[in-house]
Structure formats: C-alpha cells, structure tokens
Amino acid sequence: MSGRRIVITGVGLVTPLGVGVKNSWTNLVKGKSGLVSTKILDEYDRYYKDIPSQVVGKVPELKDGNVNGLVFHGGESSGYWDPTSFLQNGEVRKLPRFAQYALCATKEALSDANWFPTQEDDLNDTGVCIGSGIGSIEDSFNNSVNFHEKGYRKIQPLFVPKLLANMASGNVSITYGFKGPNHSVSTACATGVHAIGDAARFIKDGYCNVMVAGATEATIHPLALAGFARAKSVVTNFNDDPTAASRPFDKDRNGFVLSEGCGILILENLDHALQRGVSNIYGEVVGYGLSGDGYHITSPSPKGLGAARAMEFALKQANVLPNAIDYVNAHATSTLLGDRAENQAIQTIFGNNNKELAVSSSKGSIGHLLGAAGSVEAIFAILAMHNNVLPPTLNCDSPGGAEGDDKDNFIFNYVQNKAQDKEINYSMSNSFGFGGTNASICFKKIK
C-alpha cells in the first residue's frame, strides 16, 4: 500500500478460548481447545440431539464450568462471558448477542489503544467497520416461530434492528459517538478480513484517521448447526471427543466446527498515532488482496486459484516477495476440499520460494467463527508477529493423506500441535467464503 501508513494500535477478542486478548492468546499458545459438546447447551434434548454434528466452539460462560483446562487471567475480564459487566440489563435485552460481542471486544481494543476521544473533530475522525456473516439468527428463529404460532402481536418491536448485520457497527458508533465512516461488510466467512482491509482503505483515502474494524458472529443455534449439517459442511466423526473434532490439514479432517466470537482492531494513521504518543504498535497493514472464484457457491475453485490470486495481490500491495513472509495464518477450516485447495494455493505462491514458511490454522483450537473468523485470526497473526511465537495447529497429526490429497504437496511447517518460537517480520492471514469470495491481508512488524 502506498501513501498513508496504517498501523494497529489496539486489539480486542471474544472467542471460545475466553473473553479478552490475554485469555484467548494464552490458551491458544498453550494448545488449549475451546470446542465442546452440544450436550452442555440449553435445549439439547429438544433441538440438538438429533443433529448429526454435536461439537461447537462456544464462548465460555460461568455456568459451563472451566472446560478443557482453559486458563483465565482475571483483570477486567474474568474470561467468562458476562454482558452485565459492561451493559445494563435493559441494554442486554435490546441488543443481539453478536452486537454484544462487538461492544465487548471494542471496549477492550479502545482501552488497549487508549482512544476515547471527546472532541468533535476527533469523533468525526473516527469510523467503524464491523461486519457479520449472518447477524442474529436467534432473533430470526424466535420471531418466525412466534409469528407462526401466535401472530403479529408477538413480533418484537426491535426484531428488524436486531436482525441486521450492520447493527454491530451501528451500536458501536452510537455508544462512543464515532461519526466517521459507518460501514459493515457481509461476505460470508471472508467478512473479517474484508472489514479490516476496507477500513484500512478508508484511512488511506483520507476519510478518517482511526477505524474500529473487525467482525462478529453469534451462531451457536440449532437452526444454524442443522443447516450446515444438512449441507454436509460440519464435522460428524468426533462427537464423543470434541477437542479432536477440528483437524486442519490433517488426513482425518471431516468438516468444520461451528463457532462464535468477535475480533476488533483499532487501525490508525501512523502519523496520527505518533502525534498522540501511542506507546505500543502491534504492526502495520501493508497489503490487502481480494478476489472471486467465479466457480461454485460453496466449493473452492480447483487448485485454489482464487485464493492464490488474493494472496498474490496482497503481496503486490505490500511490495514484498513471497520469501519475505514468515507466517501464514490459514483459513483452513478442516474440510476436505477447502484445506486441500488452500494448501495448493499457498504452494502456488510460496512453494518454490519459501519452503521454510510456517502455516498454521487456529481453527484446530477455536473452530470456525464464520464471519468473525478473519478478524480473530488476523489478530492471532498480528500477535504471533508481535511476540515471535507461532500458534499451533491442533489435531494436525498427519498433514495430507485424506482421500484425494497428494501428501507430497503438504510441504510446509504446519506447527503441529505445539507452539514454536520464530522471528516473524511479516505475517499473512487468509479468509475465504461461500459464494467464492477470497481475502488475504499482510502485516509487517514495526521495529
């Protein structure tokens, strides 16, 4: 990218590994899993028990206990989800959960960046770009059932505002009085990366100096899980061993694990950040690539050609050669076709130029957060670079080897099951979505 330089000055997370960046990152690096059985969910007997996929990545709540050995560090966040810690009870009832996640992660990110402006010029100079792939499926379901069974008067007055995917951006903008660009992206599972890339462009094009950017999703609902199960997209082979269910790149991968959460970044014009004396900069956004497969509504293009074009364009904007990239946080969802296609795409771009490349997928630990996956995983890619630590790919016992794989093509360091120390100067994060939409973003360390 040319012109204005865009840096990351704050991050916030809500994930199946815990609420808060420290909780999520620590558990990720320690190799913990946030995947649980649907048997712990409300209404399991009524709705979930007949769905063939019975593993999800759920943001932990206190009533669930300390599952899977997760470590929580306290502080402002207990690690467990509690909306009443930052919202009044009335606000909790009015806001859909995906917007609640966004408000929680935004509060952490703004605190991290120390950016709570009060002057009108600063408020006008701060925008919001938070996307969601689905919005509130819970409100869609509940109001549909109420209308069918009891008629018009049982529809919630706030049904439509709670349903809309842009309500996360809207509520964050209203809560903090931010009056810059108010934008929302909804590009299926590429939403998070598209939101970050678009927000960076807003700053670069002079619309503002600061953007709150990311994506959020709250889809742990029987209707969502049933829909993906009917499409044969979600895992079914590991119902009795939830933590083993998500297996990116592994020969026994069987489908993705439906998950939820949110990742928020504070993007800022570097000159603006330096002028106000920011003490901590996580890295710089240097490349953003996007493409379309033009091939199929759910399956990737053969050999991952669309994904390769997105990565190639991100490298071109970053003005670096493939051998400069130290780490790729892969989209790899644990599906047969998707992981194979992405691996081929990475090999197309890097195979002959960067055989030491580290490639890992956080979905082994957290499952697939759909629209929020890209922003959460971008933060993990940034933290990996910031801390010089490669987060592991859990359950990646034997890369390649599934039916249709060419095991000889799985040539990279997949950071199997255990974190590794490595000097990381450039990292990249990929996200791809239904409809054949692809996104890739590249980050550079600020030394």
Cα–Cα distance between 242 and 55 in angstroms, integer? 6
Domain co-membership, 213 together with 192: yes
Please give the model's pTM, rounded to 2 decimal places: 0.96
Residue 408 vs residues 260, 357, 364, 401, 402: alpha-carbon distances, Å: 34, 16, 22, 9, 12
**Of 275, 297, 312, at which residue does a domain stop?**
275
Within-domain flag for 281: no
Q: Which amino acid is at 441?
A: I
Length reported for the chain: 447
Domain co-membership, 377 together with 405: yes
Q: Which strand (E) or helix (H) includes residue 291?
A: strand 283-292
Within-domain flag for 190: yes
Cα–Cα distance between 250 and 336 in angstroms, integer? 9
Domain co-membership, 156 together with 16: yes
Domain co-membership, 385 together with 263: no
Q: Which amino acid is at 218?
A: A
Predicted confidence at residue 44, as pLDDT, reads: 94
Cα–Cα distance between 405 and 340 in angstroms, integer? 7
Within-domain flag for 225: yes
Domain co-membership, 195 together with 247: yes
* Residue 109 tokens, joined: 């990110």
**Of 226, 250, 275, at which residue does a domain stop?**
275
Within-domain flag for 2: no
Q: In the 8-state DSSP scheme, what is residue 275?
A: H
Tens-digit pLDDT profile for residues 184-235: 999 999 999 999 999 999 999 999 999 999 999 999 999 999 999 999 999 9
Domain co-membership, 58 together with 138: yes
- Kindly give the parts of the chain with pLDDT less than 50: 1-2
Within-domain flag for 1: no
Domain co-membership, 332 together with 437: yes
Domain co-membership, 253 together with 172: yes
Within-domain flag for 395: yes
Predicted confidence at residue 77, as pLDDT, reads: 62
Q: Structural domain tally of the chain?
A: 2
Predicted confidence at residue 63, as pLDDT, reads: 78
208 given a catalytic annotation: no
Domain co-membership, 60 together with 192: yes
Domain co-membership, 318 together with 427: yes
Q: At what angle do helices 191-204 and 373-387 cross, to 10 degrees?
A: 70
Q: Which strand (E) or helix (H) includes residue 354?
A: none
Predicted confidence at residue 354, as pLDDT, reads: 81
Within-domain flag for 28: yes
Predicted confidence at residue 78, as pLDDT, reads: 80
Domain co-membership, 112 together with 158: yes
Within-domain flag for 280: no
- Catalytic choice (189, 262, 396, 442): 189
- Alpha-helical (H) ranges within 327-426 are 336-350, 363-366, 373-387
65-85 in b/e burial notation, b at 16+ Cβ within 10 A? eebbebebeeeebbbbbebee
**Of 275, 304, 320, at which residue does a domain stop?**
275
Q: State the residue range of the domain holding 17.
A: 7-275
Predicted confidence at residue 352, as pLDDT, reads: 77
Domain containing residue 27: CATH number? 3.40.47.10
Predicted confidence at residue 1, as pLDDT, reads: 43
Domain co-membership, 19 together with 164: yes
Tens-digit pLDDT profile for residues 238-275: 999 999 999 999 999 999 999 999 999 999 999 999 99
